[in-house]
Amino acid sequence: MKIAIFSDIHGNYQALEAILNDIKGAGYDEIIYLGDAIAIGPDNKKCLELLKNSNVNYLLGNHELYFLNGVELDNALEPNEVVHQKWVASQLDQSDREFLRKCSLDYTLEIYDKKIKFSHFLLSGDSEIHPFVELFKLLKKDTWFKYSKDYEYYFVGHEHNSYMYDEYLEKNNIVSNLILVGSSGCTKENQTYYIGLEVDQESISFSRHSLSYDRGTFIETINGVDYPEKDFMSKTFFGISEE
């Protein structure tokens, strides 16, 4: 079985389109998206519509939960982030809400007696309204073991840069089957990627598939739209400074 996995597109329609086009031509049996299609970038509605129409197993991220349940669920949000989230919600409609209400927080795939888990981020049982584990807890060794011990692999998104955790694991001599997928949308060059997972009776293997996308059109789009916190987010997450 071949599975394509990616996460955190964050309004980058051109990267999303490139990924889905590549996946469609590569013979994958299933596509799993780990959430956060919206916010930060300019094309929230277009990204959500494309995913809705692409036969994708869509898992909810924290930004989808802000849209569905309100920003009040996360008391860590700064006032400027709240304003941005309200703008994101204004770009979407009732059909988007109905689609996302049907999506799950996590997904477990069982193939040849192998269990593989997928979610936007590690899920806590402490709160249904804001279910994601706090970042600082992720850096504790027992947290890695607690969430990954029952699975061959556990794939999560949310953290845009996974390299910091690779370094943490190596430094602390931790062997983990928890895989941080990273963000396919928050890229500062014309490259994006997805993860290809292959499972058979004998083994599980996965690899990173890099590809180019139309960054020129993406930059034109983001420069042509005005929205709360755009300048900060464009520079921080996409490496774009408007002239």
pLDDT digits (tens, 9 = 90+) for 102-152: 999 999 999 888 899 999 998 886 566 788 887 666 666 677 777 878 899
pLDDT at 201: 87
d(CA 234, CA 232): 6
pLDDT at 106: 95
Backbone angles phi, psi at 194, to 5 degrees: -145, 170
pLDDT at 32: 98
Architecture of domain 2-238: 4-Layer Sandwich (3.60)
pLDDT at 243: 47
pLDDT at 144: 72
| Domain limits, the chain | 2-238
Q: Which residues pair with 102 in a beta bridge?
A: none
pTM, to two decimals? 0.92
User: Could you report the per-residue pLDDT of 26-52, keeping only the tens digit for each?
Assistant: 989 999 999 999 999 999 999 999 999
User: Could you report the per-residue pLDDT of 219-229, keeping only the tens digit for each?
Assistant: 999 999 999 99
178-180, strands of its sheet edge to edge: 106-111, 114-119, 153-156, 178-180
Residue carrying the six token digits 């941080």? 180
pLDDT at 224: 94
Least Cα distance to 88 among 106, 62, 121 occurs for: 62
> Of 11-20, 150-159, 173-182, which gets the smallest average pLDDT?
173-182
